Structure 1
Amino acid sequence: MSVLNRNNLIMLLPWLAFASLISILPLAFLYEKGGRVIFYYCAYFSLAGLVVDFFRKKKILLNDPKALAMLMLGVIFIGWSLYAKYLHGEKGELYFTAGKRCILAFIIMTYIFHVYREKYLGHYFLIKSCISSLALAFITSSSFAFMQALTSDERVVLGINRATLTAYAYSAVTLALITLILRALENKYKKFYFLSISIISLYVIMLTQTRSAMVIHTLFLLYMTFRLFSITRNIKFISLVAVLMLIAVGISYKVIETRFDTTVQEYRDYEHGNDKTSLGSRFTMWKMGVLTFEKSPFGQSQIERNDYITAYLDAHNQKDSWALIYINVHLHNEFIQYASLFGVQGVLVLLYFFYIFIVAELRVKRKLTPIAAASIATLLYGMTDVVLTSIEFIAMFSVLVTLLTLIEKNEKLR
């Protein structure tokens, strides 16, 4: 009886880890803290499962490229944070929490893929559960977005409480889901799913009023519509998609017009030497980031970087630049931020990260995959913001990739 109980306990860990995994995305959009707590529990169950299987002499593979990419980000974040804290006396959490999340993501991915290989849970059940988790995440997040839009005139933020990050995470999840639908076997609901998710997601993105997402998400949807047309050659359906997309954009016309006018005005202000705008301050930060990288190509502390930026702007009569407000957060560009702090090694890790999630995916599958779609969107959003150091985005992206990897391990989607 004791052996039976011990075996039952051992086999409980895969169920607990996987149940936690598929619960994260549907909850995170509604209540970020709840999703965060479940993410940690998922990591604890996964770590326990790895330890148990190690002592059971099960073969555990630690070389999955996607998991290693997350681990390398975590090592860079924690390594730099230790350097900045103990050699330069910087205060605050720095990137310790982001690094910890990346390492926990590595543990989760390693164990979940191990569970798949060992067939602790049925593959059919795993795949169906992953698809259901993604679908439920779309339904809960979109419903919450509509509710917020009806009860408030403010930008939609969902449970994440930051409109920009909400837009990036929501866009990544929905674009992956739409790509998954395009790759699925033909069935009578395929076009309906594509149409519904495309139109609803476009409208929700407009409600966040995040400029980069409004452009990038729309372009992705147009591309995917053309891909669907190349497969179906159904002019009536594609026309319907186009009309509904125009309606979704038309409903948000005031928002689009306002954001477009603001963008044009901010660019003109910058051209005339005024960077006291969101866009203008970004231009200044990008320039400063490149200059600090040229000065310290192998990395530096944030204090050193910011002191150099402050001195440079003072010397060039820009003491009141809005860039000085944001440099303690980040420089609003993923690659420039990494270059300015982590140096060449940080840029190389980031390049490897996107190589694994985009280039390697496209080379193996020979077509756009859900993981590649979500990763390309993340890369593009990182051109005007920094998303991979966000502790919320790290958890959501790693879970998304884990779910999609399990789905993609099956040659045929059902």
Structure 2
Amino acid sequence: MSKLNDIATFVIAIGCLLSLLMVPLDIPVGRKIFYACGYLSIIGILVKCIYAKHSFKKQNLLVASSILLFGLANILWVIIYKPAENYSPIYSVFMNIGKILILSAFLYLFISDSKQKNNTLISAVVIISLIMDFCVYYQHFKLGHVRAELGTEKATIAAYIISIISSLGLSAILETKHKSKFYLSFFLFMMGFTAIILTQTRAAILFFPLISLLSIVINKNISKATVIKASGVFIIIIIACGFIFKDKLTSRYHDITNDWSQYQKNNSDTSVGARFAMAIVGLKSGVDSPLGQSAEDRAERVMQIVTLDKTLYGANQYVNIHLHNEVIDTFSLKGTFGTIILLFFYISIIYGSMRPHLNIMTLSVILSTIVYGISDVLFFSKEFTITFILCLVISILINNSTNNVVNHEKE
């Protein structure tokens, strides 16, 4: 039974790595591999529970349950509110995301107490991260894309995907005992940060360096003196990238200041202004329908709000997609219960990353996701949702293997 479990874990680990490489590049087989890993996990869990009488740890059950509930909330909302005809494409999006999350819950639970060779996993993640970076460079410098987008068709989602994969690779490298781990981490950070700059996604440009620095500062295996030196090098890299890409960063900065200036003049029809307007109308429509509402009812309510307050006009162009804030968009559609489930999802993963030992890899992935969710709805993208789950699963595998090595050394 143990050998079968090891074989299944190995197959799933390989599948997750292949899927992580393919999904962001929109290679269809990547999604098929992900689904196959999920179905194999369900079989593995049944075998563990029925034949091996295996019991899972409470923190792992908690996280898996939160993922499952998050998926069910999406599907139940679609079942309850989807009209019989002439309905918004939002419903099919959330139905697909719900199915992905439900499958992900089983994938996470099966992997939660499994182990693989961590050095191989870390090397694979680093290679995948660099491939994503080089794809961005190719799109920008060779194909002439102003904002590189990988295979996602959205530069912002591409930036968030690059950010969480790079954060996973960076924090994983720092967990190793490799003599050159800091040089490797500096290189990976530089490549990831420059790739993010080429997507021109402001949230990721601002917060990716902060998440990267945090992964160093909270690492208990690094001495204070080394933390200070490493942080200094990271800051130097950030400044250097700032000079190299001065024109692009200056342009995005001017866009922010101009958008803010327009918003101060009651013009919300800009990127920044629209986000503030969407937050306001989202909260108002959510308060009016605390138990949830259909996409059509929300759109109608938003139109009413905008009609009464012309300064919120910028929210109109996005109301049939999403409101560019994970929590507010959830509240406006799925009501109070849906919002509680989303927050439970966030909190349980943060809690799971700290029990029984601090898993910096998982923490960096979920913190990045929460922060970026302030300016976008990430779980509206199949590519991001699958990538997020894969990063979560791989971080658990690496962490379990690392702790296993440590425990053997102590013995």
TM-score bucket of the superposed structures, by smaller chain: 0.7 to 0.9
Aligned match of 2:334: 342
Secondary structure of 1:29's counterpart equals helix
TM superposition shift of 1:154: 1.7
TM superposition shift of 1:400: 0.8
Instruction: Give the Cα separation in 1 of the matches to 2:350 and 2:103.
Output: 22
Contact kept? 1:25, 1:133, Cα under 8 Å: no
Selected match of 1:361 from 344, 353, 358: 353
TM superposition shift of 1:237: 6.0
TM superposition shift of 1:213: 0.6
Cα 1:88–1:71 change in 2 (3 A) is farther
Aligned match of 1:102: 101
Instruction: Give the Cα separation in 2 of the matches to 1:306 and 1:155.
Output: 30
Cα 1:406–1:94 change in 2 (3 A) is closer
Instruction: Give the Cα separation in 1 of the matches to 2:326 and 2:186.
Output: 32
Contact kept? 1:10, 1:52, Cα under 8 Å: no
Selected match of 1:81 from 78, 81, 88: 78
Cα 1:45–1:168 change in 2 (3 A) is same
Instruction: Give the Cα separation in 1 of the matches to 2:173 and 2:405.
Output: 9
Deviations 1:271-321 (A, max 9, x none): 1121111111111111001111211112111111111111121233469x2
Where does structure 1 lack aligned partners over 5 or more consecutive residues? Answer: 1-6, 117-122
Deviations 1:2-35 (A, max 9, x none): xxxxx99998655433321221112223334332
1:325-336 counterparts in 2 under 5 A? 325-336=317-328
Instruction: Give the Cα separation in 2 of the matches to 1:86 and 1:223.
Output: 46
Selected match of 1:212 from 174, 188, 203: 203
Instruction: Give the Cα separation in 2 of the matches to 1:234 and 1:81.
Output: 48
Deviations 1:100-139 (A, max 9, x none): 000111122223346x2xxxxxx4x443443233122212
Contact kept? 2:126, 2:188, Cα under 8 Å: no
The amino acid across from 1:148 in the alignment is Q
Selected match of 1:42 from 37, 53, 63: 37
Instruction: Give the Cα separation in 1 of the matches to 2:209 and 2:11.
Output: 38
User: Are 1:18 and 2:17 an aligned pair?
Assistant: no
Aligned match of 1:266: 259
Contact kept? 1:165, 1:393, Cα under 8 Å: yes
Instruction: Give the Cα separation in 2 of the matches to 1:103 and 1:237.
Output: 40
Selected match of 2:379 from 369, 384, 388: 388
1:234-245 counterparts in 2 under 5 A? 239-245=232-238
- What CA RMSD, in Å, does the superposition of the two structures yield over aligned residues? 3.0
Aligned match of 1:3: none
TM superposition shift of 1:153: 4.1
1:85-164 counterparts in 2 under 5 A? 85=82, 90-92=87-89, 93-113=92-112, 116=114, 123=115, 125-151=116-142, 152-164=144-156
Instruction: Give the Cα separation in 2 of the matches to 1:234 and 1:13.
Output: 38
Selected match of 1:168 from 139, 148, 160: 160
Cα 1:200–1:333 change in 2 (3 A) is same
Instruction: Give the Cα separation in 2 of the matches to 1:359 and 1:261.
Output: 39
Contact kept? 2:268, 2:311, Cα under 8 Å: no
Instruction: Give the Cα separation in 1 of the matches to 2:123 and 2:24.
Output: 15
User: Are 1:27 and 2:22 an aligned pair?
Assistant: yes
Contact kept? 2:88, 2:296, Cα under 8 Å: no
Range that drifts further, 385-394 or 369-378: 385-394
Instruction: Give the Cα separation in 2 of the matches to 1:225 and 1:126.
Output: 23
User: Are 1:256 and 2:221 an aligned pair?
Assistant: no
Aligned match of 2:393: 402
Selected match of 1:68 from 65, 69, 82: 65
Cα 1:411–1:399 change in 2 (3 A) is same
TM superposition shift of 1:68: 1.5
Contact kept? 2:215, 2:364, Cα under 8 Å: no
User: Are 1:375 and 2:370 an aligned pair?
Assistant: no
TM superposition shift of 1:386: 0.7
Selected match of 2:315 from 317, 323, 345: 323
Deviations 1:150-186 (A, max 9, x none): 211421111223110111111112112222233333x
Aligned match of 1:120: none
Selected match of 1:277 from 267, 270, 289: 270
Contact kept? 2:111, 2:396, Cα under 8 Å: no
Instruction: Give the Cα separation in 1 of the matches to 2:70 and 2:148.
Output: 30
User: Are 1:295 and 2:288 an aligned pair?
Assistant: yes
Secondary structure of 2:106's counterpart equals helix
Contact kept? 2:24, 2:387, Cα under 8 Å: no
Identity of aligned residues (%): 25
Where does structure 2 lack aligned partners over 5 or more consecutive residues? Answer: 407-411
Aligned match of 1:191: 182
| TM-score between both structures, scaled by the size of structure 2 | 0.87
Deviations 1:341-369 (A, max 9, x none): 1111111111111111224534754x571
Cα 1:281–1:12 change in 2 (3 A) is same
